[in-house]
Amino acid sequence: MPRIVHYCQKDVITTARLLLKFRGQQPFGDEAVLYADEASVLMRRV
């Protein structure tokens, strides 16, 4: 299951970057990606 999650996350990121490129906008870098599991941890700390 973790392998499937990893590949799905990569697919979503790639799709978002392609959409931005087709719209003429700058794609985001890897440092701008926030994964849902990380967000959950960050929200608990606030």
d(CA 33, CA 27): 11
What is the pLDDT of the chain when averaged over all its residues? 83
Q: What is the pLDDT of residue 41?
A: 53
Q: What is the pLDDT of residue 26?
A: 94
Tens-digit pLDDT profile for residues 17-30:
999 999 999 989 99
Instruction: Name the CA dihedral angle for 30, 3, 22, 25, rounded to a multiple of 10 degrees.
Output: -20
Q: What is the pTM of this model?
A: 0.68
Q: What is the pLDDT of residue 6?
A: 85
Mean pLDDT of 31-44: 69
d(CA 36, CA 40): 6
